[in-house]
Copies of this chain bind each other. A is one copy, B any other.
Amino acid sequence: MSRKAKRNGGDDIKMSDIARHAGVSPMTVSRALRAPSTVSEKMRRKVDAAVREFGYLPNRIAGSLSSKRSNVVGLIVPSIQNSLYANMIQAISDVLRANGFHLMIANSGHRLDDEEALVSALLAQRVCGLVLHNTTHTKGVRDLVAKTGVPVIETGNLPAEPLDMAVSYSNFEAARAMTAHLGRLGYRKIGFVTLPLRDNDRSEERRRGYFAALKELGLPADPSLVLEAPGGFSEGGDALVRLVQTHPGLDAAFFAGDVLAVGALFECQRRGWAVPGRVAIASFDDLDLLRHAVPTVTTLRIPRHEIGRRSAELLVNRLLGASPERIRIDVGFEIVQREST
Protein backbone atom coordinates (compact mmCIF):
# COMPACT_ATOMS: atom_id res chain seq x y z
CA MET A 1 0.00 0.00 0.00
CA SER A 2 2.44 2.60 -1.08
CA ARG A 3 1.46 6.05 -2.23
CA LYS A 4 1.88 4.62 -5.65
CA ALA A 5 -1.10 2.38 -5.31
CA LYS A 6 -3.20 5.39 -4.51
CA ARG A 7 -2.10 7.43 -7.44
CA ASN A 8 -3.06 4.83 -9.98
CA GLY A 9 -6.76 4.91 -9.76
CA GLY A 10 -6.64 2.28 -12.43
CA ASP A 11 -5.92 4.57 -15.32
CA ASP A 12 -2.48 5.86 -16.18
CA ILE A 13 -2.82 6.34 -19.87
CA LYS A 14 0.41 7.26 -21.45
CA MET A 15 1.46 8.91 -24.62
CA SER A 16 2.18 5.66 -26.39
CA ASP A 17 -1.38 4.49 -25.68
CA ILE A 18 -2.76 7.60 -27.27
CA ALA A 19 -0.40 7.11 -30.18
CA ARG A 20 -1.55 3.56 -30.72
CA HIS A 21 -5.22 4.46 -30.57
CA ALA A 22 -4.73 7.40 -32.90
CA GLY A 23 -2.69 5.31 -35.27
CA VAL A 24 0.35 7.56 -35.13
CA SER A 25 3.73 7.51 -33.48
CA PRO A 26 4.32 8.76 -29.94
CA MET A 27 6.48 11.54 -31.32
CA THR A 28 3.59 12.83 -33.33
CA VAL A 29 1.43 12.89 -30.24
CA SER A 30 4.12 14.75 -28.38
CA ARG A 31 4.37 17.31 -31.12
CA ALA A 32 0.65 17.63 -31.62
CA LEU A 33 0.36 18.58 -27.97
CA ARG A 34 3.30 20.90 -27.56
CA ALA A 35 3.76 22.38 -31.02
CA PRO A 36 0.59 21.80 -33.01
CA SER A 37 1.85 23.87 -35.90
CA THR A 38 4.53 21.34 -36.71
CA VAL A 39 1.99 18.61 -37.34
CA SER A 40 -0.46 18.24 -40.19
CA GLU A 41 -4.08 19.07 -39.65
CA LYS A 42 -5.08 15.44 -40.14
CA MET A 43 -2.67 14.07 -37.55
CA ARG A 44 -3.58 16.75 -35.08
CA ARG A 45 -7.23 15.87 -35.33
CA LYS A 46 -6.59 12.18 -34.80
CA VAL A 47 -4.46 12.94 -31.78
CA ASP A 48 -6.91 15.41 -30.31
CA ALA A 49 -9.70 12.92 -30.67
CA ALA A 50 -7.79 10.19 -28.89
CA VAL A 51 -6.68 12.58 -26.15
CA ARG A 52 -10.24 13.63 -25.49
CA GLU A 53 -11.59 10.13 -25.69
CA PHE A 54 -9.25 8.85 -23.00
CA GLY A 55 -8.99 12.03 -20.99
CA TYR A 56 -5.25 11.85 -21.37
CA LEU A 57 -3.16 14.04 -19.09
CA PRO A 58 0.46 14.33 -20.20
CA ASN A 59 2.94 13.46 -17.49
CA ARG A 60 4.95 16.61 -16.99
CA ILE A 61 7.32 14.88 -14.64
CA ALA A 62 8.47 12.65 -17.45
CA GLY A 63 8.46 15.58 -19.80
CA SER A 64 10.63 17.64 -17.50
CA LEU A 65 13.09 14.86 -16.94
CA SER A 66 13.43 14.22 -20.61
CA SER A 67 13.65 17.81 -21.72
CA LYS A 68 15.60 18.98 -18.68
CA ARG A 69 13.19 21.82 -18.54
CA SER A 70 10.73 22.55 -15.78
CA ASN A 71 7.84 24.94 -15.63
CA VAL A 72 7.74 25.46 -11.90
CA VAL A 73 9.07 28.54 -10.18
CA GLY A 74 9.93 28.49 -6.49
CA LEU A 75 9.05 31.34 -4.17
CA ILE A 76 10.27 31.82 -0.64
CA VAL A 77 8.67 34.44 1.57
CA PRO A 78 9.37 35.10 5.23
CA SER A 79 5.75 34.47 6.10
CA ILE A 80 2.66 33.67 4.13
CA GLN A 81 0.48 35.21 6.79
CA ASN A 82 0.99 38.77 5.71
CA SER A 83 -1.18 40.60 3.28
CA LEU A 84 1.79 42.55 2.09
CA TYR A 85 3.28 39.46 0.51
CA ALA A 86 -0.14 38.42 -0.71
CA ASN A 87 -0.30 41.22 -3.25
CA MET A 88 3.06 40.32 -4.60
CA ILE A 89 2.32 36.62 -4.70
CA GLN A 90 -0.90 37.23 -6.55
CA ALA A 91 0.89 39.23 -9.20
CA ILE A 92 3.63 36.65 -9.58
CA SER A 93 1.12 33.87 -9.78
CA ASP A 94 -0.90 35.63 -12.46
CA VAL A 95 2.05 36.41 -14.70
CA LEU A 96 3.48 32.93 -14.36
CA ARG A 97 0.20 31.27 -15.08
CA ALA A 98 -0.34 33.38 -18.19
CA ASN A 99 2.94 31.97 -19.43
CA GLY A 100 2.33 28.37 -18.51
CA PHE A 101 4.39 28.27 -15.35
CA HIS A 102 3.45 27.18 -11.88
CA LEU A 103 4.39 28.40 -8.46
CA MET A 104 5.76 26.47 -5.54
CA ILE A 105 5.60 28.49 -2.34
CA ALA A 106 7.44 28.04 0.90
CA ASN A 107 7.98 30.22 3.93
CA SER A 108 11.20 30.65 5.78
CA GLY A 109 9.80 32.16 8.95
CA HIS A 110 12.48 34.86 8.73
CA ARG A 111 15.13 32.22 9.42
CA LEU A 112 18.10 32.25 7.08
CA ASP A 113 18.94 28.61 7.75
CA ASP A 114 15.45 27.61 6.80
CA GLU A 115 15.79 29.65 3.67
CA GLU A 116 18.84 27.62 2.75
CA ALA A 117 17.06 24.34 3.40
CA LEU A 118 14.17 25.48 1.25
CA VAL A 119 16.38 26.63 -1.59
CA SER A 120 17.98 23.19 -1.55
CA ALA A 121 14.64 21.46 -1.55
CA LEU A 122 13.24 23.61 -4.35
CA LEU A 123 16.36 23.12 -6.40
CA ALA A 124 16.07 19.38 -5.86
CA GLN A 125 12.57 19.68 -7.29
CA ARG A 126 14.36 21.28 -10.21
CA VAL A 127 12.44 24.53 -10.20
CA CYS A 128 13.37 26.58 -13.24
CA GLY A 129 13.57 29.83 -11.31
CA LEU A 130 13.53 31.24 -7.82
CA VAL A 131 12.07 34.32 -6.16
CA LEU A 132 13.47 35.17 -2.76
CA HIS A 133 11.89 37.84 -0.61
CA ASN A 134 15.09 38.49 1.10
CA THR A 135 18.44 39.91 0.19
CA THR A 136 20.80 38.59 2.82
CA HIS A 137 21.57 34.94 2.40
CA THR A 138 23.74 32.25 3.87
CA LYS A 139 26.83 31.19 2.00
CA GLY A 140 25.05 27.96 1.23
CA VAL A 141 22.34 29.79 -0.67
CA ARG A 142 24.83 31.84 -2.62
CA ASP A 143 26.78 28.72 -3.55
CA LEU A 144 23.71 26.80 -4.60
CA VAL A 145 22.51 29.61 -6.79
CA ALA A 146 25.90 30.06 -8.36
CA LYS A 147 26.38 26.38 -8.97
CA THR A 148 23.02 25.57 -10.46
CA GLY A 149 22.76 28.81 -12.37
CA VAL A 150 19.00 29.12 -11.89
CA PRO A 151 17.60 32.54 -12.55
CA VAL A 152 16.90 34.22 -9.25
CA ILE A 153 14.93 37.30 -8.32
CA GLU A 154 15.60 38.94 -5.02
CA THR A 155 13.10 41.35 -3.64
CA GLY A 156 12.08 43.02 -0.39
CA ASN A 157 15.06 45.27 -0.47
CA LEU A 158 17.58 46.59 -2.98
CA PRO A 159 20.80 44.63 -2.55
CA ALA A 160 24.03 46.41 -3.42
CA GLU A 161 25.21 43.30 -5.22
CA PRO A 162 22.31 41.17 -6.39
CA LEU A 163 22.76 37.41 -6.78
CA ASP A 164 21.21 37.72 -10.19
CA MET A 165 18.19 39.99 -10.63
CA ALA A 166 16.57 42.23 -8.06
CA VAL A 167 13.29 44.10 -8.09
CA SER A 168 12.51 46.24 -5.12
CA TYR A 169 12.47 49.63 -3.53
CA SER A 170 14.99 50.94 -1.07
CA ASN A 171 13.93 50.51 2.52
CA PHE A 172 16.57 52.99 3.51
CA GLU A 173 15.38 55.68 1.13
CA ALA A 174 11.75 55.08 1.94
CA ALA A 175 12.24 55.42 5.68
CA ARG A 176 14.44 58.42 5.16
CA ALA A 177 11.87 60.08 2.93
CA MET A 178 9.04 59.57 5.36
CA THR A 179 11.06 60.84 8.28
CA ALA A 180 12.10 63.86 6.26
CA HIS A 181 8.48 64.39 5.29
CA LEU A 182 7.49 64.45 8.95
CA GLY A 183 10.26 66.93 9.57
CA ARG A 184 9.01 69.15 6.77
CA LEU A 185 5.56 69.08 8.30
CA GLY A 186 7.09 70.58 11.40
CA TYR A 187 7.31 67.59 13.70
CA ARG A 188 10.39 67.77 15.87
CA LYS A 189 10.25 64.82 18.20
CA ILE A 190 9.66 61.81 15.99
CA GLY A 191 9.51 58.35 17.46
CA PHE A 192 10.33 55.27 15.41
CA VAL A 193 8.88 51.83 15.94
CA THR A 194 10.57 49.04 14.07
CA LEU A 195 9.85 45.39 13.55
CA PRO A 196 12.44 42.96 14.94
CA LEU A 197 15.88 43.68 13.50
CA ARG A 198 17.37 40.23 13.83
CA ASP A 199 17.95 38.45 10.52
CA ASN A 200 15.99 41.15 8.79
CA ASP A 201 17.91 43.51 6.59
CA ARG A 202 14.75 45.41 5.69
CA SER A 203 14.13 46.53 9.24
CA GLU A 204 17.72 47.47 9.69
CA GLU A 205 17.69 49.59 6.56
CA ARG A 206 14.58 51.37 7.63
CA ARG A 207 16.11 52.28 10.93
CA ARG A 208 19.20 53.60 9.19
CA GLY A 209 16.97 55.70 6.95
CA TYR A 210 15.23 57.15 9.95
CA PHE A 211 18.50 58.22 11.55
CA ALA A 212 19.86 59.59 8.29
CA ALA A 213 16.84 61.82 7.92
CA LEU A 214 17.07 63.04 11.50
CA LYS A 215 20.63 64.04 10.86
CA GLU A 216 19.68 65.92 7.71
CA LEU A 217 16.92 67.65 9.63
CA GLY A 218 19.40 68.64 12.30
CA LEU A 219 17.43 66.75 14.91
CA PRO A 220 19.18 64.82 17.67
CA ALA A 221 19.43 61.07 17.23
CA ASP A 222 17.91 59.77 20.42
CA PRO A 223 18.07 55.96 20.61
CA SER A 224 15.35 55.95 23.23
CA LEU A 225 12.97 57.21 20.55
CA VAL A 226 13.41 53.93 18.74
CA LEU A 227 11.40 50.94 19.88
CA GLU A 228 11.53 47.41 18.58
CA ALA A 229 8.20 45.61 18.53
CA PRO A 230 7.07 42.27 17.17
CA GLY A 231 4.27 42.67 14.66
CA GLY A 232 0.67 42.99 15.75
CA PHE A 233 -1.96 45.56 16.56
CA SER A 234 -1.46 45.48 20.33
CA GLU A 235 2.27 45.87 19.97
CA GLY A 236 1.79 49.02 17.93
CA GLY A 237 -0.47 50.50 20.56
CA ASP A 238 1.82 49.50 23.40
CA ALA A 239 4.82 50.98 21.67
CA LEU A 240 3.12 54.29 21.13
CA VAL A 241 2.00 54.47 24.74
CA ARG A 242 5.50 53.73 25.95
CA LEU A 243 6.97 56.36 23.66
CA VAL A 244 4.51 58.99 24.84
CA GLN A 245 5.14 58.15 28.47
CA THR A 246 8.90 58.33 28.20
CA HIS A 247 8.85 61.33 25.86
CA PRO A 248 6.08 63.72 26.81
CA GLY A 249 7.10 66.03 23.98
CA LEU A 250 6.65 63.37 21.29
CA ASP A 251 4.72 64.90 18.41
CA ALA A 252 4.91 62.14 15.78
CA ALA A 253 5.51 58.41 15.52
CA PHE A 254 6.66 56.57 12.44
CA PHE A 255 5.81 52.90 12.38
CA ALA A 256 7.87 50.67 10.13
CA GLY A 257 4.97 48.28 9.70
CA ASP A 258 1.39 49.02 8.83
CA VAL A 259 -0.20 46.76 11.39
CA LEU A 260 1.76 48.48 14.12
CA ALA A 261 0.55 51.86 12.90
CA VAL A 262 -3.08 50.82 12.86
CA GLY A 263 -2.74 49.33 16.31
CA ALA A 264 -1.39 52.64 17.51
CA LEU A 265 -4.23 54.49 15.85
CA PHE A 266 -6.80 52.32 17.61
CA GLU A 267 -5.05 52.89 20.90
CA CYS A 268 -5.31 56.62 20.35
CA GLN A 269 -9.01 56.34 19.61
CA ARG A 270 -9.45 54.35 22.76
CA ARG A 271 -7.59 56.89 24.86
CA GLY A 272 -9.13 59.85 23.14
CA TRP A 273 -5.81 61.13 21.87
CA ALA A 274 -6.34 63.31 18.84
CA VAL A 275 -4.44 62.19 15.75
CA PRO A 276 -2.58 64.20 14.62
CA GLY A 277 -3.43 66.79 17.33
CA ARG A 278 -1.86 64.93 20.22
CA VAL A 279 0.48 62.78 18.16
CA ALA A 280 0.87 62.25 14.43
CA ILE A 281 1.07 58.75 13.01
CA ALA A 282 2.86 57.63 9.89
CA SER A 283 3.01 54.14 8.51
CA PHE A 284 4.98 52.02 6.10
CA ASP A 285 3.25 50.14 3.27
CA ASP A 286 -0.05 51.07 1.82
CA LEU A 287 -2.43 48.61 3.35
CA ASP A 288 -5.91 49.28 2.04
CA LEU A 289 -7.00 49.75 5.59
CA LEU A 290 -4.97 52.91 6.00
CA ARG A 291 -6.93 54.70 3.33
CA HIS A 292 -10.18 54.00 5.11
CA ALA A 293 -9.31 54.31 8.76
CA VAL A 294 -10.48 57.35 10.67
CA PRO A 295 -8.42 59.42 10.41
CA THR A 296 -6.84 58.18 7.20
CA VAL A 297 -3.19 57.38 7.73
CA THR A 298 -0.15 58.91 6.06
CA THR A 299 2.02 56.19 4.68
CA LEU A 300 4.52 54.98 2.12
CA ARG A 301 3.00 53.38 -0.88
CA ILE A 302 5.16 50.49 -2.00
CA PRO A 303 4.10 49.09 -5.37
CA ARG A 304 3.89 45.51 -4.15
CA HIS A 305 1.84 44.38 -7.06
CA GLU A 306 4.25 45.90 -9.52
CA ILE A 307 7.15 44.25 -7.76
CA GLY A 308 5.51 40.89 -8.17
CA ARG A 309 4.57 41.50 -11.76
CA ARG A 310 7.96 42.72 -12.85
CA SER A 311 9.76 39.99 -10.97
CA ALA A 312 7.72 37.36 -12.72
CA GLU A 313 8.14 39.06 -16.07
CA LEU A 314 11.90 39.21 -15.74
CA LEU A 315 11.96 35.59 -14.77
CA VAL A 316 9.74 34.52 -17.61
CA ASN A 317 11.77 36.47 -20.15
CA ARG A 318 14.91 34.83 -18.97
CA LEU A 319 13.34 31.41 -19.02
CA LEU A 320 12.11 32.07 -22.51
CA GLY A 321 15.55 32.89 -23.73
CA ALA A 322 16.65 36.36 -22.66
CA SER A 323 20.37 36.39 -22.05
CA PRO A 324 21.46 36.39 -18.43
CA GLU A 325 22.51 39.71 -17.04
CA ARG A 326 22.52 41.22 -13.61
CA ILE A 327 19.52 43.47 -13.32
CA ARG A 328 18.61 45.72 -10.46
CA ILE A 329 15.28 47.49 -10.72
CA ASP A 330 14.25 50.16 -8.28
CA VAL A 331 10.49 50.45 -8.42
CA GLY A 332 10.52 53.36 -6.04
CA PHE A 333 7.88 54.33 -3.53
CA GLU A 334 5.60 57.23 -2.86
CA ILE A 335 4.64 59.21 0.19
CA VAL A 336 0.92 59.37 0.67
CA GLN A 337 0.04 62.31 2.86
CA ARG A 338 -3.25 61.81 4.66
CA GLU A 339 -5.08 63.07 7.72
CA SER A 340 -2.97 61.42 10.41
CA THR A 341 0.00 63.79 10.04
Contact = CB atoms under 8 A, between A and B. Distances in A.
Interface stretch (A87-95, A170-178, A206-214, A215-223): A87-95
Contacts of A3: 69, 128, 319-321
A151 interface: yes
Interface residues on A, range: 35 or more
Contacts of A65: 59, 61-62, 65
A317 B65 CA distance: 28
Given A3-B319, A90-B79, A125-B60, A55 B103 contact: no
A30 interface: no
A80 to B, nearest CB: 5
Given A82-B86, A146-B9, A266-B293, A104 B102 contact: yes
A234 B293 CA distance: 11
A270 interface: yes
A138 interface: no
24 contacts: A1-B321, A3-B69, A3-B321, A4-B68, A4-B69, A6-B319, A7-B126, A9-B148, A11-B149, A55-B147, A58-B124, A61-B65, A80-B86, A80-B89, A80-B93, A82-B86, A86-B86, A93-B105, A102-B104, A102-B106, A102-B122, A103-B105, A233-B292, A266-B294
Contacts of A147: 9, 11, 55
Contact of A126 (B59, B93, B150, B237): B59
A163 interface: no
Interface in A254-270: 259, 262-263, 266, 269-270
Contacts of A200: none
B106 A7 contact: no
A291 to B, nearest CB: 8
Interface in A29-76: 55, 57-62, 64-65, 67-70, 72
Contacts of A104: 72, 102-105
A245 interface: no
Nearest to A269: B294
B102 A121 contact: yes
A10 interface: yes
Contacts of A93: 80, 105-107
Nearest to A140: B55
Nearest to A80: B90
Interface string A223-236: 00000000011100
Contacts of A151: 6
6 nearest A-B pairs in the assembled complex, by CB-CB distance: A9-B149, A233-B292, A269-B294, A80-B90, A81-B90, A4-B68
A72 B60 CA distance: 13
A9 to B, nearest CB: 2
Given A59-B126, A81-B83, A294-B270, A318 B105 contact: no
A28 B287 CA distance: 54
